[in-house]
Structure 1
Amino acid sequence: MSSRKQGGGDDRLYQIGEVSRMGGLSQRMLRHYDELGLMEPDVVGENGYRYYSRQTMLKIPVVNYLKMMGFSLDEIASMQRHSNLLEARKLLGRHLEICEDEARRLSERREAIVDWAELVEEANTVLRVRPSAVSVKFLSSCELLCLPSRFSGSFADAIVSLDFASFVSDVKNVITGPVILGFDSVDDAVRAASEGRECDVRLLQKPMHPISGETSASLPAGMYLSAYHIGAFEDMGSTYRRVLQFAQESGYRPCGMAYERFVTDFWTTSNPDLFVTEVLLPTETE
């Protein structure tokens, strides 16, 4: 036998098959560890057989733990070879930054999933109850990511907007919650829905990162007339007529912009029978 490093006195030496079973690693991986200098056998026989002391085998839990933390085998080998702790501190700091970035992304993903699940639950309730009444409710102000655009007559192009997706990427933000279309007037919204008429529109959605300036728009706090529309977006004219009739009969006067909040749309389903939209009109009493 030829010794590649100092053994542990009278410690028993274990063959690679025994080390594989005890450490939960394949023999191929143990040979790879040897090549990287992570865990060299204490003795290599003339026949090429590898033998390990128990002291050497204690490196296995260390390597496994560092792998669990996201370290590559090359990084682990580098840590074990360094002559001071600066390299370890640098590597740990680098992986801490990676973990923080992954945690942020995971938090954003969770928030988006929770918001989407709530929209689906809202839509399921509306589809089950099928409310026809117009309600009046207070909405708090909220800041939304905003891209001024042009309604082309296609709700698909407005809701799943390539321009808006590119805009969100350019401003380095992430969005969640329902797509909202903001029309300059109720008349614009009605004609867009009923006739597919082109008009200016604001593409709005909740951001996950802070926004300011030209990229933001505020949904103003106040009282809103609200009604759900079920079905194809091109049929929303009937819902607007229902809201406007209620306003006239109840002494309310829509003022300002008109908003369409898409609860379920092309992002969730291709079946228009499952589309649910909330029409929101800021209002004041006459």
Structure 2
Amino acid sequence: MLTIGEFSRICFVTRKTLRHYDEIGLLRPDHIADNGYRYYTTDQFRTMRLISRLKAYGFSLPEIAAHLANPDEQLLVFKLNEKQKLMQSGLESAERMLRQMEQDIDKLKRSIDIMDTNIVVKTVERTPMSVLGIRRSISVDPQHFGELFNEVYALLASRDIKPLGGPMAFYHDEDFKQEHSDIEVAVPVAKGTQGSRVVEGKTHATATLVGPYESDAFTAIYAEACKWIEENSYHMTGAPFDVYVKGGPEVDPKDYITEVYFPIEK
């Protein structure tokens, strides 16, 4: 038998943590003496190591407790795959941030304002367009966007409807809501298609983003477009929207092309 101190030292876990695990039923001592001293067995090393491993992978303590209470290797594989995807996404985000930092460092060394942009805003006259889509309150992240677009294309396939252009996303909120944004994803379809709606044809301010879907890049475009609209005595008359000209899993994110539109009038 091992005292709590010995078990703590061997497993690199504090006594406070072990007491907490005992309180929540995650890892109970094998024996508690009359004087309250906790004792563990060498057989519990494996459980402690598994707890530490899963915690390092991003599992919450309730998730770990659920697995220990009902071990299911197939379910664990599924959950590990989910954690792996989240970690990979975080790694890719960190790599993008490091590249951005490197570019900013280089600009600053050359006395260039890192907030300067080369965004060109212009006006276009769009013709009326019929679109078929799905409008939901969703979290603003690529995964939820992807799921919504999958639903749209599944709907088109089930009704044998041919899209007449690239996918689009309309933003109906007045302000930004990370977890519950009012977003509509849609694709152009033939006029009169059941369930479709008509996007009014009118003057639009537009700018193009080349590169991955990063919040800072979209903020720069929106800021520049709003500034241009104000300086040219226009005002927005409807929800802005994106047209994904080039993108998808088969395209390198640095080659993505997204057009952003703002319906405007004097």
TM-score, normalization: structure 1?
A: 0.46
Instruction: Look at both structures and tell me which one has the larger radius of gyration over its CA atoms.
Output: 1
